[in-house]
Amino acid sequence: CLSKEEVTEKSQKIIENLKATKEYRTSSSILFYVSFNNEVSTVELIKELLKNKEKKVLVPYVEKNNPLLQVSLLEDFNDLEKGTYSILEPKKEKIKKTDVKKIGIVLVPGIAFDKKGHRIGYGHGYYDRFLRTLDKKAVKVGLAFDFQVVEKVPKEGHDVGLDIISAEISCIRIAN
């Protein structure tokens, strides 16, 4: 288990590697997961982009009885509150639904990733269902601590592969 300081330090390296990619530099919109617990932290980058307005910040949210992730434009970090699974989501009155076809990059959380772009998520299937709805040009990026990148992750038929894994040491490009 990583300490808060280790999560912060390692997350900064992972985000720097992400920011160095051509895909990040040329994308006008990014769908973030809003990190919680010991996930690779996305909060600082979200706040940075909300401040400098360099890119559109999009965040997911869950609607009751809907198996698909929904997407909202985020304009202020304070527009978030704890939602489903205690994850920060837009407050109901602040939701600005966004067309998923306009997403340039999707940052995908996970428990483990392999170098073929497979991942183990949290078991609810939200991201796998969602990723299938995206435009083919949308770049799917897993954010991972180095210890989360393993030799092989079991793949199931409904799993959607990633294009890039941004880890502490480097970015791993997946040959699809």
Looking at residue 153, its pLDDT comes to: 93
d(CA 50, CA 69): 22
Number of domains into which the chain is organized = 1
Type of residue at 160: V
Looking at residue 176, its pLDDT comes to: 67
Q: In CATH, what number is assigned to the domain containing residue 129?
A: 3.40.50.10420
Q: What is the span of the domain harbouring residue 15?
A: 4-173
d(CA 65, CA 74): 23
Looking at residue 7, its pLDDT comes to: 94
The residue with tokens 């109901």 is: 92
**Contact predicate 15/9, CB 8 Å:** no
Residues of the chain with pLDDT under 70: 176
SS3 4: helix
The Cα-based distances of 46 to 30, 64, 65 in angstroms read 9, 25, 28
Instruction: Give the burial string for 55-71 (b: 16+ CB within 10 Å, else e).
Output: bbbbbbbbeeeeeebbb
